[in-house]
């Protein structure tokens, strides 16, 4: 009888220990940090492949303001004309050409044209240039400049910019302290704009969930209010009904 009771007690203790270990493992997974290291390159499917599929240039200095559409180029980039002479101007690149060059990792060739487009409030250019400043692609890393560009593109409705701006808001920059509420808001808006079932949407959901686990109840409530307010101001409240 004593042996039988001892065996039952031992079995119960073993089962309890296994259950506690399983819950601890589950809690550890739920409280994982945001996958910020995934943002070394852009997500697949929107503009370009992941960062391991192209080579990066060495960092260069930030481009100066360029308020015109043609500009001087280095000698080795000048194209000879019909008389064999070189010219000091070239046609400005289109956004489609810029994206193709970006995919090839030719960052320095597109910086000036992107800067021009961004100054003219072309939001796709703001989005890509902001990411390049964030990831130090062809320019010196400048998170404050990235913050400004991504914020403008995010406000204009660019989902990739909204996703990156949400992450940057969570991280903070030298001039912009971390803001959990803003991070949640923009990640939620990015999730609503991304195509259903896309890798980008799933990644945004993962990042949002990781930050959501760290937020207070008040921060979560405020982020939801700000998300609804943004959607209302942009006549996009119907996106909530599609979820």
Give residue-wise pLDDT tens across range 72-91.
Answer: 334 443 444 545 554 556 78
Q: Which pLDDT band holds residue 130 (cuts at 50, 70, 90)?
A: very high
DSSP-based helix, strand, coil % in the chain, nearest 5: 60, 0, 40
- HSE, CB side, 13 Å, CA atoms: give it for residue 92: 14
* Helices 180-193 & 217-233 angle (0-180, nearest 10): 50
Condensed to tens digits (0 to 9), the pLDDT of residues 133-170 reads 999 999 999 999 999 999 999 999 999 999 999 999 99
Does pLDDT of 49 surpass 80?
Answer: no
What percent of the chain has pLDDT above 90? 56
Residues 149, 118: contact at Cβ < 8 Å? yes
Locate 240 and state its tokens: 């909530």
Does pLDDT of 180 surpass 50?
Answer: yes
Domains of the chain, earliest start first: 35-241 (1.25.40.10)
Q: Give residues with Cβ within 8 angstroms of 154, minimum separation 6.
A: 161, 162, 165, 186, 189
Check residue 21 and give its pLDDT.
52
Mean pLDDT of 59-66: 37
Residues 176, 144: contact at Cβ < 8 Å? yes
Which residue, 60, 39, 59, 62, is CA-closest to 51?
39
Check residue 91 and give its pLDDT.
84
CA dihedral 46, 47, 50, 56 (to 10 degrees): -160
Q: What is the pTM of this model?
A: 0.65
Interatomic CA distance for residues 212 and 223, integer angstroms? 10
Does pLDDT of 221 surpass 60?
Answer: yes
Residues 239, 190: contact at Cβ < 8 Å? no
Locate 13 and state its tokens: 């203790």
Condensed to tens digits (0 to 9), the pLDDT of residues 89-112 reads 678 899 999 999 999 999 999 999
């Amino acid at each position: 009888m004593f042996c039988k009771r001892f065996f039952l007690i031992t079995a119960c203790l073993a089962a309890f220990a296994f259950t506690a270990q399983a819950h601890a493992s589950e809690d550890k997974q739920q409280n994982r940090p945001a996958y910020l290291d995934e943002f070394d390159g852009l997500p697949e499917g929107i503009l370009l492949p992941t960062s391991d599929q192209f080579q990066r240039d060495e960092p260069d200095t930030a481009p100066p303001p360029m308020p015109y559409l043609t500009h001087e180029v280095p000698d080795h980039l000048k194209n000879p004309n019909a008389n064999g002479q070189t010219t000091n101007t070239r046609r400005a690149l289109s956004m489609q050409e810029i994206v193709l060059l970006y995919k090839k990792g030719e960052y320095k060739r597109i910086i000036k044209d992107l800067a021009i487009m961004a100054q003219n409030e072309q939001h796709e250019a703001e989005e890509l240039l902001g990411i390049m400043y964030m990831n130090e692609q062809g320019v010196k890393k400048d998170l404050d400049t990235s913050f400004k560009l991504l914020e403008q593109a995010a406000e204009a409705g660019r989902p990739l910019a909204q996703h990156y701006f949400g992450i940057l808001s969570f991280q903070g920059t030298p001039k912009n302290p971390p803001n959990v509420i803003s991070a949640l808001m923009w990640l939620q808006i990015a999730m609503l704009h991304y195509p259903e079932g896309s890798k980008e949407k799933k990644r945004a959901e993962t990042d949002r969930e990781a930050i959501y686990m760290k937020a207070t109840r008040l921060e979560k409530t405020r982020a939801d209010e700000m998300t609804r307010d943004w959607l209302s101001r942009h006549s996009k409240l119907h996106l909530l009904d599609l979820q």
